[in-house]
Amino acid sequence: MTSKHLVRLMALVVVVVVVGVGPNQGVALARRAPGPGGSVVVAMPQDLIPAVVEAHVFAPLLVPRTGDEPVVRGAPEHASSVLVSLMAEDADRRWRLKTRAPAADVAFAIARCLEGRGERRHPAAALRAAGVVVTATVASPDEVLVRFNQPVGALPELLAWCPLRPALGAPTGPYTAQGPGRLAWRSGSFEAPPLLAGIELRGPLTGQERADVVVAPGGADLAAGGATLLSPWPDVIVMVQQPETATADPFGLREPDTGVAAFRQALRADLLAAAWAAGRGGPTEALLPPGVAPARPLPPSTSVASVPLALTPIPRNAPRLPMWVEVGDSLSDAVAERLAVLLRGKGILLETRRNQSADEGGELVRWHPPSRDAALSLLSFVGEREALVTDGGVQRALEDPRLLGREATGRLAAALALERALLDSRLVVPLIVVERAITVDPDLRGVVLRGDGIPMLDGAWWGGGR
């Protein structure tokens, strides 16, 4: 046997061994097993970078169960590398959490996630909207006690993807931060070690810059090549009006004969989605998108005759409607321009605002429901916009105890009632449903777009001989 034959034989042995311990079943069938090493460059909006860093540096307390992961006692729909069990007491007002991690770290992480503490956390916003107060304390070295002022049966859903972030910020996940936007693999994670050695996170691409993963709010650039990953559920472009704006009704939504139907017809959401979202979207009358809520009865829309817009000159001192619009999303910009045209036909000027607060007028939001749970998603939406709670119907819907109950169907029923109350209030006007997608280099395998829209690379590897 020559040395060349020996090398081939050794390579075969290595391949056979690695295939046997492949990270998932699909890979095990592959001719080429994934090899560790390499790094990737990820381009994304600046405001998304902290969330992606956190998702890779800190292990999640719970994740929705997708396969054969071991069941967490007390939360059969979830898996965890940190928590052993969640046991409810006192009619879901008190929860005992057994943990593999130090209880002090878990208690700190839970408090941070459920209280918010100055950060935008959707579980904290959801609890705030429902008027729930929470405390998390250490009961023993391996047990955490979580207390609520009212029953909260949906604690496992609230803790999904909450990061185990200790007080001192020591990493608990597969990567560690090595400077701004740079992540390097580490040992000692609560999860399986990653394959990629490094991840570089940077802002949106400019000029000739290239990246291996591109996250753009306006959608992926397919012409640039690469795989397109779709989020498990789409975004919704929503117009949120302040109460005084809804009362003034500049868009004529409350007009008895035409109202919302005429507004939607004039908006032409289908054309906007075709032109600015590569056809990956269309008009919607619902706030909760497919994938988060099933089919349900919606208020019937009446057909109205098409009326040409009256685009007559308007004076400079015409009334103005301030509208906050998200930065960097071309579809939101296009919708704002169309709204400006519609308002101009009524003698009103639309004043687009970018970085100021949305305390007056309204805002145009590209909303990604943060959870597949309709109740938690809607609660967080309301919790981040206090003005919505001023509506009587919304207040009544928020008082439904099923919203944070243990039963998924009960939560969904209460969420649909809340959705209807929001739509009836005319404070919230859903306009377009649009897919959320990212572009990934074709050689980069195993990239996952988490349900809340965060791209995860802890299970990714370079294929194709790189």
Partner 1 sequence: MALGLLMAAMMLSTAPTTSQASAAAAAASSASATPVASTTVGSVQGFADEMVAAMQDRALVEGIAGAVKVVFDDIRGLDATKVRAALLPRVRRAVKSSDGPLSGGDAGPLTATVALSEEQGHIWAVVLVNGPGLLGPSTIVLKRHIDRELAVALGAVSRQSSGRFVLERVASLPSPISGHACPVLDVTLIDLDRDPAHADEVAVLSMCGVSLYRSDDGGIALVGGPYPLPARRWPRVELGWLVALGTPETGPLLWAATSAGHSVFVEATSGRVVEAPGERVPLRGVVGKDGPHALHWRYGAPGLSLPLVTPGGIDVVVSGLPNRIRDLARLPGDAWVFISDDGTLALRNQSGATDVLAPERVGDRLLAVDVDGDGESELVTTSSSSPGEADQLVVRRLSPNQDSSTVLLKSPLGGGSVVALAAGSLDYDSRLDVVIVEELSNGETMLWRLEHAP
Q: Using CB under 8 A, list all residues that contact partner 1.
A: 26-27, 29-32, 222-223, 225-230, 232, 278-280, 291, 294-297, 393, 396-397, 408-410, 412-414, 416-417, 420-421, 424, 442-443, 463-466
Q: Which is nearer to partner 1, 224 or 318 (CB)?
A: 224
CB of 172 to partner 1, least distance (A): 28
- Residue 185 carries which side chain, given as an amino acid letter? W
CB of 221 to partner 1, least distance (A): 10
Q: Which is nearer to partner 1, 71 or 229 (CB)?
A: 229
Crossing angle of helices 408-425 and 374-383, in 10° steps, is 40
- The conformation of residue 451, written as its DSSP 8-state character, comes to T
Spatial CA neighbour of 60 closest among 437, 466, 462, 452? 452
| C-beta pairs of 221-226 under 8 Å, 24+ apart in sequence | 221/439, 222/278, 222/439, 224/439, 225/439, 225/442, 226/439, 226/440, 226/441, 226/442
CB of 410 to partner 1, least distance (A): 7
Segments in 186-328 forming alpha helices (H): 243-248, 259-267, 269-276
Cα separation, 400 vs 321, in Å, equals 34
CB of 27 to partner 1, least distance (A): 8
Spatial CA neighbour of 351 closest among 340, 366, 342? 340
Q: Which is nearer to partner 1, 216 or 397 (CB)?
A: 397
CB of 18 to partner 1, least distance (A): 14
CB of 348 to partner 1, least distance (A): 31
CB of 447 to partner 1, least distance (A): 10
Q: Which is nearer to partner 1, 222 or 318 (CB)?
A: 222
Q: Which is nearer to partner 1, 260 or 397 (CB)?
A: 397
Cα separation, 366 vs 332, in Å, equals 7
Cα separation, 198 vs 41, in Å, equals 9
The kind and range of the H/E element at 100 are none
Q: Which is nearer to partner 1, 329 or 419 (CB)?
A: 419
306 alpha carbon, distance to own chain's centre: 36
Q: Which is nearer to partner 1, 129 or 421 (CB)?
A: 421
